[in-house]
Amino acid sequence: MKKTFLLVIAGISLAFSTFQASAANDPLPVFDKSRTAIVITDPQNDFLAPDGKLHGLLAENLKELNTVANIETLMKTAKSKGLALAVDPLIYNALDVDWSRAGALQRQLLDMGALQRVSGKAGNFQGSGADFYGPYKPYIHDGKTIVVAPHKMYGPESNDLIYQLRARGIDTVILGGLVANLCVDSHMRALMENGFKVYVVKDAVAAPGADAYKAALVNYSMIANGVLTTGEVTRALGH
Amino acid sequence: MKKTFLLVIAGISLAFSTFQASAANDPLPVFDKSRTAIVITDPQNDFLAPDGKLHGLLAENLKELNTVANIETLMKTAKSKGLALAVDPLIYNALDVDWSRAGALQRQLLDMGALQRVSGKAGNFQGSGADFYGPYKPYIHDGKTIVVAPHKMYGPESNDLIYQLRARGIDTVILGGLVANLCVDSHMRALMENGFKVYVVKDAVAAPGADAYKAALVNYSMIANGVLTTGEVTRALGH
Amino acid sequence: MKKTFLLVIAGISLAFSTFQASAANDPLPVFDKSRTAIVITDPQNDFLAPDGKLHGLLAENLKELNTVANIETLMKTAKSKGLALAVDPLIYNALDVDWSRAGALQRQLLDMGALQRVSGKAGNFQGSGADFYGPYKPYIHDGKTIVVAPHKMYGPESNDLIYQLRARGIDTVILGGLVANLCVDSHMRALMENGFKVYVVKDAVAAPGADAYKAALVNYSMIANGVLTTGEVTRALGH
Amino acid sequence: MKKTFLLVIAGISLAFSTFQASAANDPLPVFDKSRTAIVITDPQNDFLAPDGKLHGLLAENLKELNTVANIETLMKTAKSKGLALAVDPLIYNALDVDWSRAGALQRQLLDMGALQRVSGKAGNFQGSGADFYGPYKPYIHDGKTIVVAPHKMYGPESNDLIYQLRARGIDTVILGGLVANLCVDSHMRALMENGFKVYVVKDAVAAPGADAYKAALVNYSMIANGVLTTGEVTRALGH
């Protein structure tokens, strides 16, 4: 991508070779651990469990990138290095199917009952498609992880993620989760509109197919403050 | 559309052919003209004028899609059909280069002086890279078009677009402008997070290269309420 | 209040006599029931139950205004007239006490454990200070009421209230609840910044003392689209 | 402070004497100058110039508090101590009178032409009611002050204030300006919802009459992180 980009821009190639260099992540960004959070969007069964309603859409990408393990590495790293960890789920209430203005994919998710809270029988939430992916629960339920209210579309505009981060003096986010070009991209954009520095972890996400993953990468590299691998994150936080 | 999508969950490749089918827009959406606005992002010289600082990046895509003419058609249609027209520019102030937290591309735009308001000499704004593209000015300056304050990143979070639309009872947006995967995509997402219905006009946008355009299309079709051509918009509003 | 206001303004008394007239609510506003919601903030035990942690602060005002009964009348009216009813609680999680930037009263609420979700033992939520006030539960838990995620400060910026209303095409809010000059005022302001029409029900609120109630009234009458009594609401919706 | 408040919950009257005690600001807050901005709302002719359209409403309060001089002291202090200074005006465009959903006072301001940008003749802006108050211009136009786009209602939700502050790493605001219970209060609330620490300068504001000023004070002292006098601000920043 970068090469074609360079060809296109003609007179301002200098600017974009800088751009390219910066994408090499050499040197790694320096994070102030007291001001940085690792944020994982939608680490839930319907995306990650083999029988999740949306797992099939992401399966190829999840496998190629080793996403499930990489997200766990990020969670583990947050805990061992003393960074704030926040998880931001997508959960629909039973009533949400009433929305008259839902977008294309959102409408489909609502109609197929994905990510839906079984209303009236709280006991059923445990292990449901909307519940957190089992292997991540020890990190999420350790009494320290910030579990924000569900977002309702793709970004954090309708929940308390930004408030929770700001209320703790956090101004930088290392971001991963599901789905690469939807909730992860929307979180990147919304957090940056709010003045956060955002670094996206490109192998701790997954998209529904190669085109959607490529779309996510194109946008991450133009918009974010940086795009990193899980390995680069752990190295950057290792010191 | 929904039924085919549900079948799809089993097999990924099927999902996306279905997905494309949904883009056929048959039948066309029915717009309530008193509640619908046409919104154009960044119709400015640095993107659209042949000597604009960013024109080279978009040139190929602008030509292929016939974007410049299509945006004019949308503006003309808003006027002839009595819909609200809003333009939402991206303009940096001289001081904005101080931002310590700018994203990758944003930093470069600031450093190269693109879309920048020449400070201290208001007279110089006329015809500058940040000024509106000349051929559109008759529509923009007719005393009826809503010209909102510049956004500062890619979405309308930092300006009065949403307030201006809501204050007029508008709840549906037909969206085009520059840049397809950046400001147009960010506007689509932010407007939808706010509960607007958004229809993106896929040939009234332009992206920096084929990959970025493809990225925009992937996201439009999953997220928006609909993806239309300029011709479909004029037909839908024709009645 | 209005008279002094008129004296002060001298030359533009005409404008403000209009203002005064409009405050008389004669005639009553006409509500489009399909686009109007009744929204109640913080109808929770810690405010409303006699043993609630903050009940003492509000007791005098609650009694004078007959607030508890008036809120119930509003809920009942929403149900009988087919309007959307939304409740928007204030609940702190155990972790929220970590906030390093809490405001004056917010810090005190956190330290005294008011409105706090007992973490780890979901069963204990029932009947706690953070739980909904018992007599309102039949309205809140009827499977139709929109129960949004807790807000974290005083307004709906950190939850899904605005999204839930917009997603249903609602653009007008009839507002009551606790505390008059805090969450009710903040909801009024935030909803109006978002372009909603807001009518505040001045006897379906309560404040911590006479000064705070007067403060709320001053702001409602200058800012809102209208200030009504519960009786006026039921009459306006009666037709 | 906290202990006394806890005692209070039993007896209401005690609560508020405690509350006032907390306003003693002893010791003064410690500001990190690189992270703190002084923000002044609406320092414009229609409020502050003797012939301003709204000056009569505020005159008594302006005189009692010595507001005009105090705001200048805050601006001067920002400059001499190296803090960021931001001004956030309220300006209506000619088209804004079309708003179908304006609130009570907002409607009147629109109808009386207060704070309105004379459209089509930019030259006329200079010295108009919407222009900045003359004596403040040397501070505002020094090429360093952050002049954000006009807000449209009372808070900064519809402009770039929050983005401009966050983009510079600012997380604390010292707040003054006009009108005490409207734009100043709305800015306090909105900034705090966004996680800023906010200190309001109670003698660098003015309200339309004694009741409105009292309303502002009641809300500042409950909501803000602190309430200071101009003298306390200069002392706190003196070191």
pLDDT tens by residue, A61-70: 999 999 999 9
Mean pLDDT value of segment C203-215 = 98
Q: What pLDDT digit, counting tens, does each position of A45-91 carry?
A: 999 999 999 999 999 999 999 999 999 999 999 999 999 999 999 99
Chain B residues with beta carbon closer than 8 angstroms to that of A4: 209-211
Chain C residues with beta carbon closer than 8 angstroms to that of B171: 166, 169, 171
Q: Which of B95, B101, B168 sits opposite D146 (nearest CB)?
A: B95
Q: Which of A15, A154, A215 sits opposite B189 (nearest CB)?
A: A154
Strands (E), chain C: 36-41, 84-88, 146-147, 172-178, 197-206, 226-228
Collapsed DSSP state (helix, strand, coil) of residue B188: helix
- How many whole angstroms separate alpha carbon A127 and alpha carbon C156? 30
Residue A125's pLDDT is 87
Mutate to test the interface with D, among C219, C221, C225, C228 (most CBs of D within 10 A): C219
Surface-to-core class of residue B42, CB atoms within 10 Å of its CB (0-12 exposed, 13-18 middle, 19+ buried) = buried
Query: Of C110, C180, C96, C63, which is closest to residue D219 (Cα–Cα)?
Result: C180
For C221, name the nearest residue in chain D, comparing CA atoms only: D104
Chain A residues with beta carbon closer than 8 angstroms to that of C153: 163
Strands (E), chain D: 36-41, 84-88, 146-147, 172-178, 197-206, 226-228
The residue with tokens 């956060």 is A196
Higher pLDDT, B195 or C119: B195
Q: Which residues in chain D (81-100) have CB-CB distances under 8 A to chain B?
A: 93-96, 98-100
Q: Do B163 and C196 touch (CB under 8 A)?
A: no
Secondary structure of chain A as H, E, C letters: CHHHHHHHHHHHHHHHHHHHHHHCCCCCCCCCHHHEEEEEECCEHHHHCCCCCCHHHHHHHHHHHCHHHHHHHHHHHHHHHCCEEEEECECECHHHHHCCCCCHHHHHHHHHCCCECCCCCHHHCCCCCCCECHHHHHHHCCCCCEECCCECCCCHHHCCHHHHHHCCCCCEEEEEEECHHHHHHHHHHHHHHCCCEEEEEEEEEECCCHHHHHHHHHHHHHHCCEEECHHHHHHHCCC
Residue C22's pLDDT is 44
Mean pLDDT value of segment C26-34 = 92
Q: How far is A160 from chain C (nearest CA, A)?
A: 4
- Whether the ω angle into residue C179 lies within 30 degrees of 0, i.e. cis, is yes
C-beta of residue D16 within 8 angstroms of C-beta of residue D22: no
Residue A8's pLDDT is 33
Mean pLDDT value of segment A101-126 = 83
Looking at chain C, which subunits does it touch, using at least 3 CB pairs closer than 8 Å as the criterion? A, B, D
- Running DSSP on this structure, what letter comes out for residue B28? P
Mutate to test the interface with D, among B95, B160, B164, B193 (most CBs of D within 10 A): B160
Q: Do D195 and A163 touch (CB under 8 A)?
A: yes
- How many whole angstroms separate alpha carbon A192 and alpha carbon B106? 11
Looking at chain D, which subunits does it touch, using at least 3 CB pairs closer than 8 Å as the criterion? A, B, C
Homologous superfamily (CATH) for A34-236: Isochorismatase-like (3.40.50.850)
pLDDT band, residue C50 (cuts 50/70/90):
very high
Q: How far is A178 from chain D (nearest CA, A)?
A: 25
Query: Of B102, B86, B92, which is closest to residue B152 (Cα–Cα)?
Result: B92
Q: Do B208 and A54 touch (CB under 8 A)?
A: no
Residue A208 region, left (φ>0) first, then alpha (ψ -120 to 50), else beta? beta
Residue B123's pLDDT is 57
Residue D12's pLDDT is 37
Amino acid at B13: S
C-beta of residue D64 within 8 angstroms of C-beta of residue D36: no
Chain C residues with beta carbon closer than 8 angstroms to that of D222: 103-105, 181-182, 212
C-beta of residue D228 within 8 angstroms of C-beta of residue D200: yes
pLDDT in tens, chain B (239 residues): 333 333 233 333 333 433 444 445 568 999 999 999 999 999 999 999 999 999 999 999 999 999 999 999 999 999 999 999 999 999 999 899 989 999 999 999 999 999 998 644 455 789 999 999 999 999 999 999 999 999 999 999 999 999 999 999 999 999 999 999 999 999 999 999 999 999 999 999 999 999 999 999 999 999 999 999 999 999 999 95
Q: Do C100 and A168 touch (CB under 8 A)?
A: yes
Mutate to test the interface with A, among B223, B227, B228 (most CBs of A within 10 A): B223
> In A120-129, which positions are buried (b, 16+ CB within 10 angstroms) versus exposed (e)?
eeeeeeeeeb
Position A122 pLDDT exceeds 90: no
Chain C residues with beta carbon closer than 8 angstroms to that of A143: 94-95, 119-120
Mean pLDDT value of segment C2-21 = 35
Homologous superfamily (CATH) for C32-236: Isochorismatase-like (3.40.50.850)
Please report, for chain D, the start and end positions of each structural domain, with discontinuous segments joined by +: 1-28, 31-236
For B164, name the nearest residue in chain C, comparing CA atoms only: C195
pLDDT in tens, chain D (239 residues): 333 333 233 333 333 433 444 445 568 999 999 999 999 999 999 999 999 999 999 999 999 999 999 999 999 999 999 999 999 999 999 899 989 999 999 999 999 999 998 644 455 789 999 999 999 999 999 999 999 999 999 999 999 999 999 999 999 999 999 999 999 999 999 999 999 999 999 999 999 999 999 999 999 999 999 999 999 999 999 95
CB atoms inside a 10 Å sphere around CB B190 = 25
C-beta of residue B149 within 8 angstroms of C-beta of residue B159: yes
Q: How many CB pairs under 8 A join A and B?
A: 171
Looking at chain A, which subunits does it touch, using at least 3 CB pairs closer than 8 Å as the criterion? B, C, D
Higher pLDDT, A23 or C225: C225
Secondary structure of A182-228 as H, E, C letters: HHHHHHHHHHHHCCCEEEEEEEEEECCCHHHHHHHHHHHHHHCCEEE
- Give DSSP secondary structure letters for D216-231: HHHHHHHHSSEEE-HH
Q: Do B194 and C194 touch (CB under 8 A)?
A: yes
Residue D239's pLDDT is 57
A149 touches chain B (CB under 8 A): no
Mutate to test the interface with A, among C90, C131, C160 (most CBs of A within 10 A): C160
Query: Of D84, D83, D112, D85, which is closest to residue D96 (Cα–Cα)?
Result: D112
For A91, name the nearest residue in chain C, comparing CA atoms only: C149
- How many whole angstroms separate alpha carbon C226 and alpha carbon C135? 28
Mutate to test the interface with B, among D158, D170, D194 (most CBs of B within 10 A): D158
- How many whole angstroms separate alpha carbon A163 and alpha carbon A166? 5
Amino acid at B15: A
Q: Which residues in chain D (208-227) have CB-CB distances under 8 A to chain C?
A: 208-212, 214-216, 218-219, 221-226
Q: What percent of chain C has pLDDT over 90?
A: 83
Domain B35-236: which CATH number of 3.90.950.10, 3.40.50.850, 3.30.930.10, 3.40.50.1820:
3.40.50.850
Chain C residues with beta carbon closer than 8 angstroms to that of D218: 181, 211-212, 215
Residue A124's pLDDT is 78
For A171, name the nearest residue in chain D, comparing CA atoms only: D169
- Which two three-digit tokens encode residue C206? 């309560």
Q: Do A112 and B9 touch (CB under 8 A)?
A: yes
- Which two three-digit tokens encode residue D220? 């500042």
CATH number of D31-236: 3.40.50.850
- How many whole angstroms separate alpha carbon D133 and alpha carbon D68? 10
Residue D117's pLDDT is 85
Chain D residues with beta carbon closer than 8 angstroms to that of A165: 195
D32 touches chain A (CB under 8 A): no
Residue D123's pLDDT is 57
Q: How far is C143 from chain A (nearest CA, A)?
A: 8
Q: How far is C36 from chain A (nearest CA, A)?
A: 15
Q: What pLDDT digit, counting tens, does each position of C123-155 carry?
A: 578 999 999 999 999 999 999 999 999 999 999
- Running DSSP on this structure, what letter comes out for residue B116? B
Q: Do B222 and A104 touch (CB under 8 A)?
A: yes
Q: Which of A166, A169, A171 sits opposite D194 (nearest CB)?
A: A166
Surface-to-core class of residue D80, CB atoms within 10 Å of its CB (0-12 exposed, 13-18 middle, 19+ buried) = exposed
Question: Which residues does residue A198 pair with via DSSP β-bridges, in sequence order?
Answer: A173
Chain A residues with beta carbon closer than 8 angstroms to that of D157: none
Residue B109's pLDDT is 94
